[in-house]
């Protein structure tokens, strides 16, 4: 059974309020409220657990990171319900809350992300020890999300180097100073998935056209990355590898929430890597994960037949 380990150092309880016709600065009537255990790595684990139920041989999915002990129950319930191994390090206090205002009428979501718990050095040391132990079995490691207060910006860069030296496949999805640090390091992850704005910020320059985006992605390939997936919202994604580049355009669907769409794409790319798919087929699978996710609330995939239907509608073209 193939092992996937996700790392979430700054998880969040996502509180999604449906507010159709949202008007800022005014009193709004909400239609529904849903709370989900989230954070980028938690979401990736959830998507892969959904997918792994129907995979020949299955997937062994483990989630680790830092988790506030005061409100760990929703996370524990999600992991238990999906058969994900819980390797989180509990820390004092409550995991942060992220508020999502979902306007179904406008098909828009407004995110309000609160800061996370400060990470004590001993808690980080315990997480790193768990990662080293898990890495002895090989597999795929997904480092995802922001770093909580108190964590040095170069932590992901250090972990990427350690995990690659241990022989694992490393995927990274982060932003800000953490992404800048990784992209400036000597060892890059095999898979990097920034959106266009995150890539521009990390590189410190505007990427005003497709040629500049491709040049930036190919620069990362020359330094050790194997797949650079640059997501561009409704314009789809550019997936760049040494073997070629494709553009994947998603079909139009009724958007319920865009929360987790990028995490779903990461999960789809990981699933594609594990299956050894060709670049065009990987683009279809990753995009179908993202499309399937935005049709529902929470980090959940629709049934495989529905995903296959979305994949068949993804427009993939060579660049």
**What DSSP letter does each residue of 54-92 carry, written as one string?**
TSTT-EEEEEEEEEEGGG-HHHHHHHHHHT-EEEEEEES
The phi, psi pair for 139, rounded to 5°, reads: 100, -165
CB burial class (10 A; 0-12, 13-18, 19+) of residue 54?
A: exposed
How many Å apart are CA 227 and CA 246, to the nearest integer? 11
Phi and psi, residue 189, nearest 5°:
-70, 160
Strand order in the sheet with 237-241: 85-91, 59-68, 2-8, 140-144, 169-173, 191-192, 227-231, 237-241, 244-249, 315-318
Token duo for residue 56? 């020949």
Q: Which of 70, 263, 281, 308 is catalytic?
A: 263
The helix or strand, by DSSP H or E, that contains position 270, with its residue range, turns out to be helix 261-275
Please list, in sequence order, all residues whose beta carbon lies within 8 angstroms of the beta carbon of residue 252, skipping any fewer than 6 positions away: none
Active-site annotation holds for 263 = yes
Contact 44, 268 (CB under 8 A): no
**Catalytic residue list:** 263
């Amino acid at each position: 059974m193939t092992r996937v380990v996700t790392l979430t150092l700054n998880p969040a309880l996502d509180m999604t309020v449906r507010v159709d016709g949202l008007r800022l600065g005014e009193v709004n009537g909400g239609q529904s409220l849903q709370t989900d255990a989230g954070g980028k790595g938690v979401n990736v684990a959830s998507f892969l657990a959904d997918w792994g139920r129907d995979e020949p041989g299955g997937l062994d999915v483990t989630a680790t990171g830092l988790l506030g002990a005061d409100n760990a129950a929703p996370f524990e319930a999600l992991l238990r319900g999906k058969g994900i191994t819980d390797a989180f390090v509990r820390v004092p206090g409550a995991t942060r809350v992220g508020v999502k205002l979902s306007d179904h009428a406008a098909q828009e979501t407004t995110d309000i992300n609160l800061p996370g718990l400060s990470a004590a050095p001993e808690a980080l040391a315990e997480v790193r020890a768990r990662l080293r132990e898990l890495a002895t079995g090989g597999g795929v490691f997904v480092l995802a999300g922001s770093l909580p207060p108190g964590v040095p910006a170069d932590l992901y860069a250090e972990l990427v180097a350690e995990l690659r030296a241990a022989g694992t496949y490393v995927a990274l999805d982060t932003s800000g100073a953490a992404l800048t640090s990784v992209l400036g390091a000597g060892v890059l992850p095999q898979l990097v998935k920034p959106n266009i704005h995150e890539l521009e910020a990390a590189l410190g320059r505007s990427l005003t056209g497709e040629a500049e985006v491709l040049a930036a992605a190919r620069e990362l390939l020359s330094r050790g990355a194997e797949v650079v997936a640059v997501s561009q919202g409704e314009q789809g994604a550019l997936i760049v590898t040494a073997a070629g580049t494709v553009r994947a355009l998603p079909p139009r669907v009724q958007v319920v929430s865009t929360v987790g769409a990028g995490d779903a794409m990461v999960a789809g790319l990981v699933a594609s890597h594990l299956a050894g798919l060709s670049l065009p087929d990987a683009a279809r699978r990753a995009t179908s994960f993202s499309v399937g996710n935005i049709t529902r609330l929470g980090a959940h995939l629709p049934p495989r037949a529905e995903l296959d239907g979305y994949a068949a509608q993804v427009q993939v073209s060579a660049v």
